Structure 1
Amino acid sequence: MPDRAGVPTDDANGFAELGLRPELVHTLAGLGYEEPTPIQREAIPPLLAGHDLLGQAATGTGKTAAFALPVLQRLTPDDGRREPKALILVPTRELAMQVSEAIHRYGHDLGARVLPIYGGQPIGRQLRELDRGVDVVVATPGRAMDHISRATLRLDDLEMVVLDEADEMLDMGFAEDIDAILEQAPEQRQTMLFSATMPPRIEGIARRHLHDPVRIEIARPVAAPGEAPRVRQSAYLVPRAYKPAALGRILDVEAPGAAIVFCRTREEVDHLTETLNGRGYRAEALHGGMSQEQRDRVMGRLRSGTADLLVATDVAARGLDIEHLTHVVNYNVPSAPESYVHRVGRVGRAGREGVAITLAEPREHRLLQTIERVTKRRIPTEKVPTVADLRARRLELTRAALEESLLDGDLERFRVVVETLADEFDIMDIALAAVKLAHEAGGAAADEEEIPQVATRTDRERRDRRESVRHAGGRDERRGRGPTSGMTRLFVSAGRSAGIRPQDLVGAIAGESGLSGRDIGSIEIADRFSLVEVPEYAANDVIAALRGTTIKGRKATVRRERRDR
C-alpha cells in the first residue's frame, strides 16, 4: 500500500506547491494526502526539473511517491506510443506489486498504464500487456532481463529509470542485471536511485550510470531527549542450544501483535516454525524453497490475522510491507549491519511504535558491537526471562482477562454457582479457585527449565578479576571455592614453570574456540597447572578445541576440574 503522508483533507496544498500537475494534486487530495514527507519534499522538485537523483531514506518514509509522482508528471497517455516511458526496478515480486498499485492509484486521473512484471506469474499475460502498450513497467531485474532478451520489453523510448531499494537488489545478486539494463537504456534518460543504505557498491553504480545527480539523505527521526525511541531495540545473549526455548519465552513476555522472525537458512525456518507452533503460536514459514502460490497463501494468512508470526529468510521477506507488524526478531545476528538496518526499518513506521529483538550467541557479540558502531546506537543487552518472569507474565495476562470479563458484565448466570459454594467455602477461596482454573485454561503450563544466563561483564570488571589472580607457591585464595555462577573451571596441565601467563591461556582459548577474551572468567596459575573459568555451555567445545593444539609450544591436557583435588 502507498505510504500515507497525512490525514484526509479537502486539498493537498503541500503537493501543489511542489509544482505537480492539477490532476495529481486532485488525486492525492482524494487519497487523503495532506503534506509531503521529507523525502518527497526534497526529491520531487529536482526530479521535476529533470535531474538525476541519488536518495537515501529508510523504508516506510514515502519513497514510492517521491519517484512515482515525477514519473507520472512526465507521462502523456493516449499518444499512440506502445513502448514504456519509465522502467522501475525493484528487488522482489511483493514490492513490484506494491509500487505498481501505488502508481496506478496516483495516475488514475491521467489514465496511466502500469504493468508489474516478475517471476512466478504466467509470462503470457505479461507478453499480451506489453504488446498492447504500457507507460510504466515495474519489474524485478531478472524478469526485466528475460523480456529484454526476448525483445518483448524495448527500451528505445525510455525516458526514466528508477532503482528502488537498490541496496537490497545488490544483496540479492542483481548487480550484473542492473548494469546490463542501464547500459541498454538510452543515454539521455533520467535516472533515480533510492536506497536505505549507501554501501560502496551503490556509490559505484551512481558513478557509472548517473549524471551529476542531486544527492539527498533523509535521516530517521531522532527521539527528543527523554523521549523513548520509536523502535525499542534489545539483544539477548543465548547459548545456541537454548535459542528456541529463549525465543518462545521472549515472545510469551512480549506478546507481539504480529512479528517477523528472521533466520539464516530454509532448514532453520522450517524447524523453528514447527517449534513455535508446538508452543501454541500461529507461525508460518516463508523461504525461497516455496512456490509463489504457497508464499501468497502465507502472506494472506498473515495479513488477515489468522497467523501472527512469520518465520522467514531475508531473501523471502524482502519487499514485504505488513501494516500491523509490531516486532522484528533476528534469530541470529545479521553478518552485515545493512541487513540489520533493513529489518529494523520494517517496524516503527508512520508514527507507530515497534520492537526489534536480536538473539545473539556469545560468539556473535562482536557482530552486535559492529552493528552498534555502524548505526551509532547502543543495543541494550537484556536478560532472558526466567521461569519466575514467565509465570508473573502469565498471571498478569490472567488478571487482565478477568478484568475484561468483569467490565463486560454478563456474569449473572454464574451467580448460582458462587452462592451454592459460599454455603461451604470462603468467598476468597472460591475466587482463588476460579482464578486458578482460568489461569490453567489459558495455557499456563510453563516449561520449567531455566535458561542459562550468559554473564556480561564490563572490561573493568574483567581486568579486576584477572588482576586478582594470586600466585603463592601454587596455592590460591580462591582454591576450594566453586566457579562463578554459569561458569565451569577447566584444568590445564601447564603452569608457571612452563612460562604460562594469563594472556597465553586467553589467546589459546579465543584462537581455537568460538569464545572471545571477554567470555573467559578468572584464571589461576600454579607451578605445574592452571585453572580457567569458561561458560558452562562452552566447556566441552573448548576442551575439544584445545585437544589438538599447543600452549607456549607444549601440548597440554585440558579437562574439567575435579573438585576432589
Structure 2
Amino acid sequence: MTMNATGGEATFADLGLRSELLDVLSALGYEEPTPIQAEAIPPLVEGRDLLGQAATGTGKTAAFALPVLQRMSHPGDNDGPVTLVLVPTRELAVQVSEAFHRYGRTLGTRVLPVYGGAPIVRQLQALKRGVDIVVATPGRALDLIGRGALDLGGLRTVVLDEADEMLDMGFADDIEAILAETPEDRQTVLFSATLPPRIDGIARRHLQDPVRLEMGHAATEGRQTTPLVEQSAYLVARAHKPAALGRLLDIEAPTAAIIFCRTRDEVDQLTETMNGRGHRAEALHGGMEQEQRDRVMSRLRAGTADLLIATDVAARGLDVEQLTHVVNYNVPSAPEAYVHRIGRVGRAGREGVALTLVEPREHRMLKAIERVTKQRITVERLPTVADLQARRMELTRSALEEALLQDDLEPFHVVVESLTDEFDLMEVALAAVKLAHQASGAALDEQEIPEVSPRTVEKRRDHREGGSEGARYGRAPSGGMVRLFFSVGRSAGIRPQDLVGAIAGESSLSGRDIGAIEIADRFSLVEVPQEAANEVIAALRQATIKGRRPTVRRERDTRSRPTRR
C-alpha cells in the first residue's frame, strides 16, 4: 500500500497532479489511486521512462494518461502530436482515446484514435487540423507516416500499451519503424501484461534508465495486487461442452459474464445455444460492425443481457463494472492470454470467478498456465443433475423468502383462505412452491454429463518455436487444424510474422491460435483451427500482405505433390 508523507494512504493530490485533473477525477468519483497509478504517476510526471508489467484491470490507462496530460503545457497549440500511444486493436484505441477525453476535457486536449477498418480520409483531415495526442494501431500509424500525414518530429512521449499483444500480432517491425521516426530525447513508456525476452529487448533498445514496476502479480513485496479471482477448471469432452457450460452458469448464476471462444463461428453457435437455454446472451467478434458492437456493450452495461460471448480480439480492452465471471470455453493456447482474460473480473478490489472448460487434450496447456502464473487452478468435478436440482431449489427458496419480506401479499389472502377450507395449509404451501419452482424454468429435463480423464496428446509443432520455413510439404496438419494456401512466398519477401500479423489483424484469431507456417518461393502454407478456416479465408479476401493481395484458400490434396528436394 502506498503511503503519503503523513503516513496515510496516498491520494491523487499527493501525486502532484494539477487542479484541473484533480477536479475531473473527483467528478468521476475516483477517490484514491490504484497501486499501479500510485507507483507510476510520480516518475512519469518527472519525465522518466518506465517499463511496467501490469495486468488488465489494474488501472494502467490512467497511470500513463494522467502524467501525459499533466506535462502538456499548451493543449490545442501544437501542429503535430506531442504524444503517441500505440495499442494492438481498434477497440483498445477507442477506449484509450475516450479515457484521454474524460481526463482532459477541461484542458481542451485534442485526441485522435487512428486504426484500420475506419475511413482514412477523416483521420487525414483531423491530423491536418492538428491534434495533441494520437492513439493508434501500428499498421495504421505506419500508413499515415508513409503518406506524410503523421509527423512525429514533435513527440515528447511515446506509450506502448499491451506491448506483448502487439508482438504476438506480428507488429514488431512496425513498432521499430515507428520509433525510428521519433525524437531520441522522447519519454518512452511501455506496459505489458507479461515480460518475455522480446519485450526486454525492446526496452533495452528504446528506454533510457527506466523505472521498473511489476503489478498484477504478487511481485511487490508485502502487497498482493492480483485481481481477487477464484479460479477453477472442469474436465469435459468437446461434445458435452455446451451442456457443461449451461450447467455451470445455472449453478453460478453470474450477474454478468464474458465467455471466451476461439473463433467467430464458435461465438455465434454458442450464443444461439445459450439463448436457447433461456440465457440473455450477446455475441461480440471481429466480424461485426462497430455500431453493432456498441449496441451489444450497451445492452450488457444496462443489464438487458447477462452473457457476452466473445473472441479475444473483440473483447480486448473492455471494462464492464458489473462483470462477476469469466469463462474460458477453451483453454487459452498461451498463459499470457489466460492472464488477459481473467483480468476482466476482480477489478478495483471486487471479487470475481474464472472458470475454464478443459478438453482432455488440453490438460497439458492448463498445467503450463499454472507454471507461468504460479497460481493453482483447481480442477473441480462438474455439477451433477442432483447438484443442479439442489441449486435450483435453493434459488426458488430465496425467491419465496424475498416475496415474504415484501408487504404486498394481501391480495392473495383470500385464495389461501378459501383453499384451507378444503386442504391442509402445508399442502397449499407445497403446491405454491411447486408452481413457483416450475415457473422459474427449474423443471428442465437434464442428463448426466460423462466424466473424462486427461490423456496425453502429441504436442503441436508451433511456428514460433522452430523455424518452419521450408518444412515438409504433404504432411498431415496437426490435430484439429487445417492448412491454408497463400499465393505469396519467399520471393515476395514474406516472413512468418507477416502472415501472422495479417491473419490476426483481419480475423478473430490471435497469433497464439496459428499453427505451423511453411514458406516456399512462390507460396506459403499456414495451419489454422479447422473451425476458423472459412472465417480466415473470407477475412483476407480484401487484405494485402507486403503490398500484395494474395489468393487464400484451403490447401488442396497434397498426396500427389512431389517431395521438395
TM norm. shorter chain > 0.5:
yes
Structure 2 residue 142 is the aligned partner of structure 1 residue 165: no
Larger Rg: 1 or 2?
1
Deviation at 1:204, TM superposition (A): 2.1
Give the one of 48, 55, 59 matched to 1:62.
Answer: 59
Deviation at 1:242, TM superposition (A): 0.8
2:189 counterpart SS class: strand
| Residues in 1 aligned to 2:367 and 2:189: alpha-carbon distance in whole angstroms | 33
Give the equivalent residue in structure 1 for 2:268: 270
Give the equivalent residue in structure 2 for 1:303: 301
Query: How large is the RMSD of aligned CA atoms in angstroms?
Result: 2.8
Give the one of 168, 172, 175 matched to 2:172.
Answer: 175
| Residues in 2 aligned to 1:83 and 1:420: alpha-carbon distance in whole angstroms | 81
2:347 counterpart SS class: coil
Deviation at 1:154, TM superposition (A): 1.3
| Residues in 2 aligned to 1:137 and 1:269: alpha-carbon distance in whole angstroms | 32
Give the one of 190, 196, 199 matched to 2:196.
Answer: 199
> Which letter does structure 1 place at the counterpart of 2:372?
V
Alpha carbons of 1:79 and 1:343: their partners in 2 closer, same or farther (altered >3 Å)?
closer
Give the equivalent residue in structure 1 for 2:326: 328
| Residues in 1 aligned to 2:293 and 2:169: alpha-carbon distance in whole angstroms | 18
User: What do residues 136-158 of structure 1 show as CA deviations (whole Å, max 9, x unaligned)?
Assistant: 11122222223222222211111
Q: How does 1:221-260 map to 2 (within 5 A)?
A: 230-260=228-258
User: What do residues 21-52 of structure 1 show as CA deviations (whole Å, max 9, x unaligned)?
Assistant: 34334443444444332222222232233222
Give the one of 102, 109, 125 matched to 1:112.
Answer: 109
| Residues in 2 aligned to 1:95 and 1:163: alpha-carbon distance in whole angstroms | 12
Structure 2 residue 415 is the aligned partner of structure 1 residue 414: no
Whether the 8 Å contact between 2:76 and 2:132 is mirrored in structure 1 is no
Alpha carbons of 1:102 and 1:288: their partners in 2 closer, same or farther (altered >3 Å)?
closer
Is there any run of 5+ residues in structure 2 with no aligned partner, and where? 4-8, 456-477, 481-565
Alpha carbons of 1:175 and 1:224: their partners in 2 closer, same or farther (altered >3 Å)?
closer
User: What do residues 373-412 of structure 1 show as CA deviations (whole Å, max 9, x unaligned)?
Assistant: 1111111111111111111111111111111111113112
| Residues in 2 aligned to 1:278 and 1:173: alpha-carbon distance in whole angstroms | 38
2:180 counterpart SS class: helix
Give the one of 335, 341, 353 matched to 1:337.
Answer: 335
| Residues in 1 aligned to 2:37 and 2:479: alpha-carbon distance in whole angstroms | 50
| Residues in 2 aligned to 1:441 and 1:336: alpha-carbon distance in whole angstroms | 43
Whether the 8 Å contact between 2:385 and 2:447 is mirrored in structure 1 is yes
> Which letter does structure 1 place at the counterpart of 2:413?
R
Give the equivalent residue in structure 2 for 1:140: 137
Give the equivalent residue in structure 2 for 1:98: 95
Structure 2 residue 347 is the aligned partner of structure 1 residue 356: no
Whether the 8 Å contact between 1:86 and 1:137 is mirrored in structure 2 is yes
1:109 counterpart SS class: coil
Whether the 8 Å contact between 2:300 and 2:307 is mirrored in structure 1 is yes
Alpha carbons of 1:417 and 1:388: their partners in 2 closer, same or farther (altered >3 Å)?
same
1:311 counterpart SS class: strand
> Which letter does structure 2 place at the counterpart of 1:136?
I
Give the one of 211, 215, 219 matched to 1:218.
Answer: 215
Structure 2 residue 20 is the aligned partner of structure 1 residue 20: no
Further displaced range: 313-322 or 172-181: 172-181
Give the equivalent residue in structure 1 for 2:41: 44
Deviation at 1:20, TM superposition (A): 3.1
| Residues in 1 aligned to 2:137 and 2:435: alpha-carbon distance in whole angstroms | 54
* Percentage of identical aligned residues: 73
Is there any run of 5+ residues in structure 1 with no aligned partner, and where? 7-11, 458-511, 515-565
1:157 counterpart SS class: coil
User: What do residues 103-160 of structure 1 show as CA deviations (whole Å, max 9, x unaligned)?
Assistant: 2232233322212223344334322321111111112222222322222221111111
> Which letter does structure 2 place at the counterpart of 1:23?
E
Alpha carbons of 1:18 and 1:405: their partners in 2 closer, same or farther (altered >3 Å)?
closer
| Residues in 1 aligned to 2:423 and 2:176: alpha-carbon distance in whole angstroms | 80
Alpha carbons of 1:127 and 1:266: their partners in 2 closer, same or farther (altered >3 Å)?
same
Q: State the structure with bigger RCO (CA 8 A, min sep 6), 1 or 2.
A: 2
Alpha carbons of 1:412 and 1:61: their partners in 2 closer, same or farther (altered >3 Å)?
same
1:371 counterpart SS class: helix
1:36 counterpart SS class: coil
| Residues in 1 aligned to 2:391 and 2:27: alpha-carbon distance in whole angstroms | 45
Deviation at 1:243, TM superposition (A): 0.8
| Residues in 2 aligned to 1:433 and 1:14: alpha-carbon distance in whole angstroms | 57
Count residues in correspondence: 450
Give the one of 272, 275, 278 matched to 1:280.
Answer: 278
Give the equivalent residue in structure 2 for 1:450: 448
